[in-house]
Each structure stands twice: as structure tokens, then as C-alpha cells.
Structure 1
Amino acid sequence: MLRGLRNAGQSLVGKVIIAIFFGLLILSFAIWGIGDIFRTMPPSTVAHVGKTDISVEAMRTAYNNELQRLGRQFRTVISPEQARAFGIDQQVLSNLVNEAIMTEEAKKLGLSVSDQLVASSILEDPALRGADGQFNRALFDQMLRNASMSEAGFVREQRNAMTRIHLAEAIAGGLTVPNAAREALNRYTSERRAASYFVLTPAMAGEVPAPTNDQLQSFFNERRGAFQAPEYRALSALALDAAAAAKPESVSDADARQRYEQEKAKFGTPERRTIQQIAFPSQEEAEAAFNKIKEGATFEAVAEERNISPQDLELGTFTKSEMLDPAVADAAFSIAEGTTSGPVAGRFGPVLVRVTKIEPESVRPFEDVAGDIRKEIALANAKTQIEQIHDAIEDLRASARPLADIAKDKGLTLVQIPAIDNKGLDKSGNAVALTDRDAVVKAAFASDIGVDNEPLRTSDGGYVWYDVTGIEPSREKSLDEVRDQVANLWREDEIAKRLADKARGLTERLDKGEAIETVAQEAGAPVKNAADLARATAKDDLSADAVTRIFSVPVGKAGNTATGVDTRAVFKVASATVPPLVTTTPEAQRLETQLRNGMGDDLINEYIAQIRKDLGVTINQQALRQATGGEL
């Protein structure tokens, strides 16, 4: 057929016929709905921003880079589920869209950056300079590999970024901060208040009788969702790690003794020697000096002849392994205390060495440390055998052997957990002891009864096999199950209501002009004074929220606020002071910079929002999920 079409296409009539044929074919696609392929976004594109496309690969790279950055910042691994819960995917996409909007607008305005300026920005980047302070090509190539970018792609992104910066500076650069804004921010951050207050305690709420059944039932019904029993799962788990697989009893006495001799220093204090040294410019002079010592001259006399002070004579006290020169170490540790070695060909020339003091080694006998050595050897052996044991267990799993039988066959411990919730707690609220508990719990709650689960790799190189053996669904608890808890909560709520009502009445009396000392005395509470209160900052027995409430009340007026779970403060604002704004101080300049940055960000965001509306932005949710590892 294709050959016939090619032959027909050689003539004018044939070309017309072929055109009609393909026209009808395309029309039939449209009729049957295939025309959607011409209207929908390509699967490789996450978003259209005007004429700019954000590809799946660009989104994936930016998303992974952000996860790695956050992981380094918080020293943890952020899972895809956590990333979606925190909205990281949407934040990254929003940033890419904003960059595309600014790039589109820069093109529209004809903004550009010269090749020379782009090259200079790369060459002068401190992150790309080596130890000599110059541009380092190797660092540049490594950065490209880490970012999964080509050199041309990086240069293009650098040019676009610089263009966006120039546009942003044109929009928000050189802003003048109004004096009124500086004064307002100075007042907000620098204002200090003083207040007199007294605290109402639970005892001041009066006698609270036990709730009736109707009161308790009504209270429970209003808060039934707070008394939810979580879903529990029963698990069987088999952990394989080096400690579990190690068999110290299988280590022979000969192997343990060999390790003991090799690592004797670990089991005590090695021998240390205090050493003196005289260096010579030639082997002949060293031999001549040694002959003098053999004939009766002292080591110190030889040193004095060579103008070596007693301080310079001392080399120090060392173990043999601590000495830098192996030849000198061998000589020093081969002679008796108080004797001098013959000429030694040291690393820095010939020397004579004398030992002035020997501190003998103190090593625990083999019998005392044999058990620890066997455990250490067995642990090292087990680490090399883990993969073999893993494969053998997987073979047994493939033959439908229960975990209990496998554990018994391999000499491992099977952990059976009757109930665990998705936080790793049992029904008493205690943490369940389980290897890599968080990972196992997460995997178990994503599995089901009877599912043949893949083993989990642990952080120390081991494995955990697990089976879900039972599921107890989440449910609402009955009042009888939580009666004591509900009764305590009811009592706390009743006390809080009584204290709030009492505080409201006392506040009204203060606002009518009564002295706080009189009102506090009748309430049975001492008056306290708090000075130099800073906004949203706790002080004494006033919580941060209580201080914030004090700042919301005019000077001379009264108010009340909770200061804890079961206490309430009644206060009267005595004064409010604001230091004058001195524009030349570092603090004032910091405030001005803060305001200018905030105003600039607002301007740029408004600008981007308008351009986004004009350009139009289309998001492909399927491609977004593909880029971020979400389910399709």
C-alpha cells in the first residue's frame, strides 16, 4: 500500500487524491474523539506558560534538588508522601511558573544579557573557585553532573536568571520606604508594656460537683471524634542483621588468639618510651659521637659539644606507633632504658637515640577479653553472610514457608506483635520494640493480610521480613471505655468556664475604676507587676499568648486571658513606651531593609500575578504526578 501511495504521489492528480484521503482520515479521527491528541498537552510537558513549556524533566530535576536541599537542612529523608503533604511539589511548580513568567516578560520587553556578562558571572562564582581562588573547571563539571545539566543548558539558565533579576530590579529596585511605615514597624517591634495582674487558679472556681450521666453523655457526644480508637494491626516480623546472624560460639580459640595478638593495643595501654635524640649532618660524625659515648662520654656532653640545649634534646614520650620516623622508632624500642643506640639512618638524617624512661605495657589477658573478641569476629563474619542468608530465606518464602518456621530453621527470633497502630504504639500507648519500627509500620499499613511482602532493607545493611496477620479497624470508642477520661475533660472544661466567667466580671469592675488591689484581694489572689513586656514573649507566669493579649488592650484598660490549661490572668495595662526611631542605628537600617524587601516582594508578586493572568498558565496534573513520582 505504501509503495502504491508513493507511486500515486508522483502525479498532480495522485497528490490531490492523497490529500483528500488524509483529510478524510483526520476528519474520522476527530469524529471518533482522536482529535483530542491535537488539543491536549503533550505528556512530556508539566505546564504551558505563554510560549514557554515546563518539561517533565525540568520539573523532576527541580523537585529532586529541592528534596535533597531540605533533606540536608533537616538531616532526614523526605518521602514522596511527606513532600506532597507539605506541598513541596506545588511550591516547586509555582517557582518554575514564576520564573517562566518573568522570562517571557523579559523577552517581550527585549531584555537581554551579553555573553561576556554571563561568562563573568560563572567565572566569578565563589562556589566554582578552587583553593587558589581561581575558576576551577573540575568543580564546574561536578556541579553540572550534580544538577544533571549540560554546559549549554546551564549557560542558558544562567542567562535567563540574570535577565529575570534585571527585570525584578527594574520593578522593585530603589524603593523608598515611607517614614510612616518605618515608624509603624518600629512601634510594633520596639514597644514595651507594663501591666499589673493577678492569676485565678482552679481552686477559685469553687466546688465542682461530679457530672451527671446526662451531662457526661452530652459532653461526650459533642467531642466523640476526639475519642477515636486507631486502626491496629497484628504483625509477625523477622529481622536479620549482623548481630542476629552472628554465632560467637563458632569462632575457634586459634582465630580469637590471632586477633588478640594483632590488636593487643585495644585491650590495655601499650608501652611508652621517653626519648632523647641528637641529629648529625653526616653518618661519619654520628659514628664518631657514638664512639665517644662508648669510651665514656655522656649523651649530654655530646649534645653540649654540638650546642644543643637540654630542651632541644628531648624528643618526647611516645608509643611506637605514634613516632613519625619508623627507623628511629625501631631503634628506640629495641634498646634498654638509659642506653644509647648506634647511628640510625633517620628520615631527616643520621641520629643517635637514647631512652630515658620506659612505661611498660599493661594489657588485659586473653582470657578476660576472649568473649568480646569472639563476638567481634562473629559479627564481622555475619556481615559477609547476610546476603547468603537473605537469599536462603527468600527461597523458603517462595515455597510458602511461614515466617515462624523460617525463624526456627535459621536460628533467628520471630517477633509477634498482637496490636500496633500507625504511630508504632501498642494499645497502652507504649512504643513497640521492633527493628526499623517506623519503616516496618509504614509498610505494614500499606499492605494487607495474606500479602507476600518484599523484605525491608535496614540502615545497617540487614533485612526485615513482615506479615500482617490481623487488622482491627479504626472505630469510635464508647462512653464506657473512656468514662474516666471524659469525666476529667468535663471537669477541666467546667473549671475553665467558671474561671472565664469570674474573670469577665472582675475585668468589668476594673474598667469601672476599682483598684486592682481591691479586686484581687476579694478574689483571694496577690497582685503582681510585670514590666518591660515584649510583644509575643513570655515573662514570669505570663505565657506568650497572654502577653500578646496584653498588647491588644489600650493603656489604662483591663482584660483577661488564659495563662495555662487551668489558670487565667486578670490584668490592667499600666503603660506603653516606644523608643524613638533613630534612622542611623543598625537596628533601624535592618528594619528599613526588612520593609524594603517586603514591599519589593509584594510589587513583584502583583506584577507576576497580572502577567500570569495575561499570558495564561495551563497545568498538566498527570505530567506533574509523573515528574514527582506520584501515582498516575
Structure 2
Amino acid sequence: MLNALRRSAASSISKIFIALLVVSFAVWGISDVFRGNSQQTVMQVGDARISAETFRLSLNRELALLSQQVGREVTLEQARLFGFERQLLGKLATDAAMDARAQQLGLGLSEERLGARIASDPIFDQVGGYDPRIVRRLLQAYGLTEADFVADTRNLAMRQQMARALVGGMQAPQAMIELGFRYLNEQRSVSYFILDPIDPATVEDPDEEALTAFFEENREAYEAPEMRSFVTLALVPNAIVNPDAITDDQIAADYEANRARYSTEERRRVVQLLFQSDEAATAARERLVAGETPEAIADDATLSATLTEFGTVERRSLVEDAIAESAFSLETNGVSEIIEGRFGPRLVYVAEILPPETRPLEEVSDEIRQNLALTQADEEIFSLSEAIEDARAGGETLAEIAARYSLTLESFDMISGDGKDAAGEDVSLPEAEGLLSKVFESDIGLENDYLSLGARGFLWFEVTDITLARPLELDEVRDQVIARWKEDAAERLLQERADAVLAEIREGATLEAAAEANGVEVQSLDGVTRETEEETLGTAFVAAVFEGPRDSTGQVETADGTARILFRVDNTVVPAFFMTSEDAENVAQNFAAALQDGLLTQMVGAIQDDLGVRINQGLVDRLTGASQ
């Protein structure tokens, strides 16, 4: 977790090492992996045992970080589709192996160096530098203890010592850099024209023999899927909520008991100005007192002020006590005395004050009534679910239960396994995870376990009818088969046409003459490199342009595969190579990183082979839900 936060500020070796070995899958409290019995051991690397608890904590933290990176919640089931747990196991094994080898080599870090490293950790740049109070809050936010952080910092330092010893200062040879530079920076000028797709409607229908043969070759594409009809009964708080049952006395009592919920503390719109000198801060303060705005101060280049908007906040939202004290002691448009800080003198300006307020009972009574009704429904829903289960055990159908408790029974007629109806349209189903798969695992007359519906809901279902999958006959899908045959024929004719035009060009016809004969115009494209992105022409076109020398010709599909591009390479330009140029330096850095990554990967693999890595796959499956 902390490695991911450090990523943007680390040294080159640190970046390579973290990216290769740790990435965002760091192990916190690695010393814990040496304890625990075999039944609770997820993985053993040499003598080091990685416990189920360590794996579980790492899994939860990395899943939370992944969700943060993609901007939405990612479930463990979704992450497993991309091999999430295998990646985590790999990183845990890497850390354990590297730590074991570091101990064997006697590597260490003095307390003085460890303290200096912690104080200068780039992670604290986000909070204005090292401050023990802020550090504790930051670590707590990521579910870490100070001991975790210290252990991680020490272990990471020792891993980096090993990495630097192996690849520190490693550079790619100049010949390799020059080759990569020329490969990446070669530019080509291209002339081309596009043969548009052939409309399948213009293709003659196939005769019966051809159509039958095509149908038989593609029979697996023409099958009626298994369809099932079923009913569902949903029980959620909103289905049984009864706001009318809530009395005015209950509403008033709840309002008094939770008055703070309907109140807001005093809030202020706070602005901070950071200066490089006390002189600038003093001059700015005088101007603010005289009536100038913070924006005007920030726009004055002579003051070199940095403006930070804290927004409209409550006092507790301001982390630094000195800032909070000043901000909440000023009047509107008031400016503080100079406040010294780690990065320079500061001024606090209060642009607006919003007094505390409490919403009256009349304004929130409907809201309270609804909330109390929902709370009451939450309490009743479990007893009602038990009553429904008892009724099902007694042989009642969902239809009978729905009628007894005034609940809604939904019917779904002939739905396929991918959620479509008989017409092929998507059907809106209850949002209970696994509903369709459970429906297709069940049978008519079977009593099924209920499914969870949202956070506090239940869903029951019964299969009422089944139509088995069957192969379709040609007469049932004749129009579809003819349309598919004509689409394939149009594609084939276009390819034959493109091949014929290219043959004419290679036999001596000019690209321009070929374009004119086909009623299209030649277009040109300059400065094409191997990294050029062409949305219409596509990556296959760019790759084909670099397959031959100057004056070479070719044909390739457009990006969407519907049309064909005929092209000619008109010119090639290879820029002069200078080792000191920015592009050459970028190539050198990338090649050096690749070489270093390769060696580090080999080193880690050799250490793991030497120590031995064993995984308790059954326990991993249970912890990740793969065995369910």
C-alpha cells in the first residue's frame, strides 16, 4: 500500500525494484510470516511461513487499493478473473524470498539510517512533511500500525540493497540504444486509398445447394438455447414499509434523541496563502487588511504566494491546530497573523462564515417518519422471512405465500441462460447475484435456497417450465442463414478485389491510376512512426507500412475490418542519432530498466528455486472464495 503511494517520488532503482518485486502487493508486518501452524499456512518459502491472516489482510488491502485506482468497488470475484490472488501470491513469495536471502547475507540498517529514511519517505510529501501526529492518522487510514510501517521500511531498504548490488548503474550498450532510437523514430510518408465495403444487399442470394452447405458448416451457430420460465418472490424493507404506522410522538422522540443529526456546526470558507519570506507575508497581510482579496495577492508575481482553498469546512476538518485556531477566531474577511510552517510563512483568510443551524422538526418530520418505518421494516423482515421459509417447508408455493402476505410475485416467461427472452431481447431481472445460474441449476418442483437481495433483502424463486435446447433446421432460420452467407460473400469479394488491385499495382499500375479506376481518391499521410495511432486506419496498417522498404506496396484491413486499404510507402526518414538528445536518453533509460528488470527477475527466481516455494492451494481457495 505504502509502496504504491511512494511510487511517484522514488529513485530510479527504487522504481524498478518496487515495480518488479513489490508493485502494489507489498506485505505488511512480514515478520509475522515466520509464525503459525501448517494448517493456517498459505505459503512456505524456505523456512518462512506466510499465514492465512497475513494473506487475508494483504488481499483486503490490495483489493481496496485496486478499487481506489479504478474509481469503483472491485469485488474479489471480479479480481479473481484477472488472476488477482495469483499475483498477490507471487509478490508475497518474492518479498519472503528476498527477506530470507537478505538475512542470510547479513544485510541490515542502523537505527539512525532507518530513522532518517522514514523521515524522508516521499509518502509524507502529501501531508507537508514528516509530522508524527499526521503520520499516525495517515497510517491508520490505510489500516497500518507504526510497527508495520517501520518493519516495511527496513525490509524494503534491505531488498533495495540487494537490487543495487546486482543492477545499480547498469546501462544498455550504445549500439543497442541507437538501434532502438532508429526503430522508434523512423518516419514514413504513405499514399493510400480505401476500398469501401461491398453492401451484402447487392450480392445475389445463394442457390439451395450453396445455402445448405453453408448451413451445415455453421450448424453450431443455429441452435435454440434452453429456455426456462420461473417466478420470483422478493422480500425487501421497502416492500413491507408502512410509514402510516409511525406516530407523531415517535417522530418527536427520535428528533430529540438525534438532534445533532439535523444540526450543522459553524463552517467557514478558509483560504491559505504560503510565502517564501516573512517580508512578503507581512506586505501581503497589510494589503489584505486594507481590503484586497487573496486572489489578488496570489496573482501578484512579486509576492510569490501560493493560494490553497480549504473550502467551506468545520473546525475539526482542519488537521493543523494552528490553522484551525486562527481560522475560527477571525471575523469575515479577517486575516491571521503570520503562521510559521515547514515550507514557509503562511496567512489564513476567512472569506465567509456560516453559523451553526438546526433544521426544525416540521422540516424533517417526513424524513424521520420514513427512516423509522424502514427501521421497523428491517426488524420485521427477518421474522417474516422465517415465516416464509416455514410455509415453504410446509409445501406452500410462492404464489400462495405471496397472496397470504400481500407480496408481489413476478413471472418470467421463457428466459435463456444469458438473460434474453424468446425474441432475443434483454430482460430486467431482480438484482440477486447468481439468480440465472441458480434457475438453470434447478428443476420444476424443486425447493430452492433463497438468494440475498441487496443488503437486507431475500429472493425466492421457483422454476415453472423448461424448454430444452435443440438444433434449428434450415427452414426455421433461412432468412438469417441467407443474410450471413451474403455477408461472408461480400467480405470475400472485397478481399478478392483488393488482392486483384494490389496485383495490378505491383505489375506496374500506379497507385493513383488504381484509385481512379475504383472511383476513389488517393490520400497521404506523413510522419508515420511505429507508435502512430490511427483510429480509422488501425494498428495493422501502421505495422504493414513498416514491413517493406521505400516504394513498397501492400493492402490491409481498416481498423474495423470492414474496408481495405491499398498503400504505397513514398519516403522514409531516419533522424540523426545523438546520444545526448532527449529521445535517445529516454530510449537509454527504458532499455536500462528492461535489462535491470530481467536480471532482477532471474535473481528472484533463483532465490525461490533455492529456498523452495510451496502453496497451500486449498487454503488459498477458501480464503478467496474460489472453492465455493
Same-fold status (TM-score > 0.5): yes
Superposed displacement of residue 74, structure 1: 2.6
User: What's 2:410 paired with?
Assistant: 415
Equivalent AA in structure 2 for residue 165 of structure 1: Q
Report if the CA contact (8 A) 1:407-1:414 is conserved.
Answer: yes
Deviations 1:586-605, CA, capped at 9 Å, x for gaps: 55444333222222111111
User: What's 2:267 paired with?
Assistant: none
Q: 1:77–1:451: structure 2 CA closer, same or farther, 3 Å change rule?
A: farther
User: What's 1:276 paired with?
Assistant: none
User: What's 2:307 paired with?
Assistant: none
Report if the CA contact (8 A) 1:453-1:467 is conserved.
Answer: no
Alignment pair present for 1:609 and 2:610: no
Alignment pair present for 1:398 and 2:390: yes
TM-score under structure 1 normalisation? 0.65
Superposed displacement of residue 627, structure 1: 3.5
Superposed displacement of residue 559, structure 1: 0.6
Superposed displacement of residue 568, structure 1: 1.1
Equivalent AA in structure 2 for residue 235 of structure 1: F
Superposed displacement of residue 219, structure 1: 3.0
Report if the CA contact (8 A) 2:163-2:600 is conserved.
Answer: yes
Deviations 1:576-621, CA, capped at 9 Å, x for gaps: 3344455555554443332222221111112223333333333332
Structure with bigger gyration radius = 1
Q: Which runs of 5+ in 2 are unaligned?
A: 1-36, 252-289, 291-311, 315-329, 332-362
Deviations 1:349-403, CA, capped at 9 Å, x for gaps: xxxxxxxxxxxxxxxxxxxxx9x99799557624532431342143123221432
Report if the CA contact (8 A) 2:222-2:472 is conserved.
Answer: yes
What pairs with 1:214-229 in structure 2 (closer than 5 Å)?
214-227=209-222, 229=224
Question: Which of 619, 623, 628 matches 2:619?
Answer: 623
Alignment pair present for 1:95 and 2:87: no
Superposed displacement of residue 76, structure 1: 4.1
Question: Which of 528, 534, 545 matches 1:533?
Answer: 528
Question: Which of 205, 212, 220 matches 2:207?
Answer: 212
The worse-fitting range, judged by mean Cα deviation, of 438-447 and 66-75 is 438-447
For the aligned residue pairs, the C-alpha RMSD in angstroms reads 4.3
User: What's 1:552 paired with?
Assistant: 547
1:183 and 1:472 map into 2 onto residues whose CA distance is: 66
Equivalent AA in structure 2 for residue 219 of structure 1: F
Q: 1:129–1:380: structure 2 CA closer, same or farther, 3 Å change rule?
A: farther
2:600 and 2:623 map into 1 onto residues whose CA distance is: 28
User: What's 2:61 paired with?
Assistant: 65
2:485 and 2:531 map into 1 onto residues whose CA distance is: 30
User: What's 1:290 paired with?
Assistant: none
Superposed displacement of residue 211, structure 1: 2.1
Report the secondary structure of 1:43's partner residue.
helix
Question: Which of 359, 373, 385 matches 1:381?
Answer: 373
Alignment pair present for 1:596 and 2:588: no
User: What's 2:348 paired with?
Assistant: none
Deviations 1:268-297, CA, capped at 9 Å, x for gaps: xxxxxxxxxxxxxxxxxxxxxxxxxxxxxx
User: What's 1:262 paired with?
Assistant: none
Question: Which of 496, 499, 521 matches 1:501?
Answer: 496
Superposed displacement of residue 225, structure 1: 4.1
User: What's 2:25 paired with?
Assistant: none
Alignment pair present for 1:523 and 2:515: no
1:607 and 1:519 map into 2 onto residues whose CA distance is: 58
Q: 1:420–1:201: structure 2 CA closer, same or farther, 3 Å change rule?
A: same
Q: 1:427–1:127: structure 2 CA closer, same or farther, 3 Å change rule?
A: farther
1:159 and 1:221 map into 2 onto residues whose CA distance is: 67
Q: 1:393–1:544: structure 2 CA closer, same or farther, 3 Å change rule?
A: same
Alignment pair present for 1:46 and 2:42: yes
The worse-fitting range, judged by mean Cα deviation, of 553-562 and 409-418 is 409-418
What pairs with 1:45-444 in structure 2 (closer than 5 Å)?
45-125=41-121, 127=123, 133-136=129-132, 139-140=135-136, 143=139, 147=143, 151=147, 155-203=150-198, 208-227=203-222, 229-241=224-236, 243-246=238-241, 377=369, 381-400=373-392, 401-436=396-431, 440-441=435-436, 444=439
2:122 and 2:610 map into 1 onto residues whose CA distance is: 38
Q: 1:101–1:247: structure 2 CA closer, same or farther, 3 Å change rule?
A: closer
Q: 1:374–1:250: structure 2 CA closer, same or farther, 3 Å change rule?
A: farther
User: What's 1:274 paired with?
Assistant: none
Report the secondary structure of 1:238's partner residue.
strand
2:612 and 2:453 map into 1 onto residues whose CA distance is: 46
Equivalent AA in structure 1 for residue 452 of structure 2: L
The worse-fitting range, judged by mean Cα deviation, of 567-576 and 95-104 is 95-104
Q: 1:440–1:503: structure 2 CA closer, same or farther, 3 Å change rule?
A: same
Question: Which of 487, 491, 510 matches 2:486?
Answer: 491
- Residues paired across the two proteins, number: 486
Equivalent AA in structure 1 for residue 386 of structure 2: E
Report if the CA contact (8 A) 1:205-1:498 is conserved.
Answer: no
Q: 1:522–1:474: structure 2 CA closer, same or farther, 3 Å change rule?
A: same
User: What's 2:263 paired with?
Assistant: none
Q: 1:535–1:380: structure 2 CA closer, same or farther, 3 Å change rule?
A: farther
Superposed displacement of residue 46, structure 1: 2.9
Q: 1:481–1:100: structure 2 CA closer, same or farther, 3 Å change rule?
A: farther
Superposed displacement of residue 482, structure 1: 3.6
Question: Which of 564, 572, 575 matches 1:568?
Answer: 564
Q: 1:615–1:249: structure 2 CA closer, same or farther, 3 Å change rule?
A: closer
